[in-house]
Structure 1
Amino acid sequence: MQIYKVGGAVRDRLLGIAVTDIDRVVVGATTEEMLAKGFRPVGADFPVFLHPKTGEEYALARTERKSGRGYGGFTFHASPDVTLEEDLIRRDLTINAMAEDDQQNLTDPYHGQRDLEARVLRHVSPAFAEDPLRVLRVARFAARYAELGFTVAPETLDLMRQLSESGELQALTAERSWKEISRALMENQPQVFIQVLRTCGALKELMPEVDALFGIPQPATHHPEIDTGIHTLSVLQQAAQHKQPLTVRWACLLHDLGKGLTPEEQWPRHIAHESKGLKLIKAVNERFKAPRDCQELALLVGEYHTHGHRALELKPSTLLELLQSFDVYRRPQRFEEFIAACEMDARGRKGLEQTSYPQADYLRGAATAARSVAVQPLLEQGFKGPELGEAIKRERLKALKAYKEGASA
């Protein structure tokens, strides 16, 4: 029995990056031997075991063969005669197909170290094209390591393009796709993830609503970058630079989908794109079964982001409606994330990345003013039921009028 560290642990150590997850592969062992040593089995599809003391995962060396469509369409074979090289060749990229023993002796049959030094993401074997999930994984790695200068090898992009055109991406489950998408959006350069998917034709298959934004112009006075798709990438990049959470990044990606529905004769204006885009945002949300908080914020940002930009001009009654829509009294964090998404949208414009966004503090102040209205005095005046609701609304409107006057004084 021989045990090796494999994959990301080896890759990141060689890159000088902190190693978080350690995967181990066991060569020359049987399930019975692992159980006899106290390992606990957890793998349903193939033999994976938890170490009796550390709880870390150990997988038996295995080979795999394509047997059906999609990510799950594989049969696995694990036995003591499967070599380390045979286990490594089934992996996606050369930089993930290296192994090392406890003395850090490297086993690198597919030249992963060479590709690390060349900053290239390259597939290990033609079997790469058998798993559609790898299109998303490679795009995610491109986003993760873009800052280090990594690019996708042309021949790997070709295979990704073939996979995109084959219809295999449609066989991916919503859960698997969302896992890759959400992880990619939380990388330092999430816009690279979208760019790579678009380059290989996968964006058109997975998110045609986002792909459709490229080539659609916006007014140069507001958007010096003009292209709506480029703007979307810039907004996503700003969200990453400002360390925004996943909810905000997802909303940033989808906020302008309505512009893809604007008739060409109306370009570069996009009248009512906010409301028009809601059905598209909803469709993307449902396609990937995004978490509820991501879905809700994306829809609210899509509908109200221009309200955010015009916050200083809004009438107190419109401002109150906005606050009500976000339920700022019970869910203040969601409104804070909306403000963040609006600010990223404003900064995601060519040459305006450092522009101040006074709307943010103004909206926060408005929310504080509305929340400051006390309910108890109204109860003491005898208001109850629907009348109480109307009385609270009147007092909040009064507070917002005073706030607006004070802010403009």
Structure 2
Amino acid sequence: MKNKYKLIATAAMGLEALVANEVKDLGYECTVDNGKVIFYGDPLAICRANLWLRTADRIKIVVGEFKATSFEELFEQTKSLPWGDYLPEDAEFPVTGKSVKSQLASVPNCQAIVKKAVVEKIKAHYGIQSAWLDEKGAVYKIEVAILKDMVQLSIDASGIGLHKRGYRADQGEAPLKETLAASLVLLTNWKPDKPFVDPFCGSGTIPIEAALIGQNIAPGFNRDFVSEDWDWVGEKTWEKARQEVEDKANYDQKLDISGYDIDHRMISMAKENAFEAGLGELITFKQMQVSDFTTDKEYGVIIGNPPYGERLGERPEVEKMYKEMGKAFASLDTWSIYMLTSHEGFESLYGRKATKKRKLFNGFIKTDFYQYWGKRPPKNL
């Protein structure tokens, strides 16, 4: 078994650079492509990436890449790969697929051919005589991805997507993905020793992600991963990676993080989620509308994912709220303010042109992350 693997950290559009920074912070060189960051590492790298990457969607291991324009080529090339190095003889290996701008356009046929080729290789590798494999062991989800006739075969090392941190006991109607929430925090100038406010906290995702970042707690500390059951990664490797998580956490870091929402049910939900994440004592949640926000603190950061007014009936109310927010925040000249919304008229309603805008996608909704930078604190602060 080789020690270095080609790994992919998949990323939402516009977040690739953030994922790349996180991969580099783990100590791995990487390259950035559309929707993914590519790097090389040993089994410990697979564990670390799953545990630590806050902004990636999942981790995949590339088994092989080749060109195929016929089903015969797809079968033979797939069969030639060293599947026995990855899959035990009792592995459960469902095959998913996608094909874009390729001659092999039928995804179900491609999936079936890859499945058949892997079965043949596993039978030959382990000397299995029976017609069928006993797929009752650990799960190795194989993906066949074809782009312009180039085939990539990979195995999913995460299982449930990395945005599923494990702390969400409950959520609202349109919850922000944890990976996007973490990205919003990382795109700001916030430091753990500064005040942090989310005036539209909903079920608490942004404040919780900020607290995890503030105390350097790995986002995957509270959940399981499919590759924990893989013998070639090994229980000891996972134990080492999880011990690193514990050693690097800074539980003594004091935090000033608050979340507000107009809906008292959301506040109850946010408190429950924060306690589930083990952060209940660190974050203050309170029912309040944004127009009532005041503070004597300075040099803090406000991050919000307010209602967008996507539905026509909600639009006038949302636009009124944007105007009220602009008035409430007008005197906060030392604070940096960041708002995510799809409303193209946000700046005029808020009353100020943003210092900078960044295009992001909240699910399938195209949004802008409006950034208003406050005064820099004196050097002695």
* TM-based fold match above 0.5: no
Query: Whose radius of gyration is greater, 1 or 2?
Result: 1
TM-score by length of 1: 0.28
Q: Which has the higher relative contact order, 1 or 2, with Cα contacts under 8 A spaced 6 or more apart?
A: 2
TM-score by length of 2: 0.29
Greater helix fraction, Structure 1 or Structure 2: 1
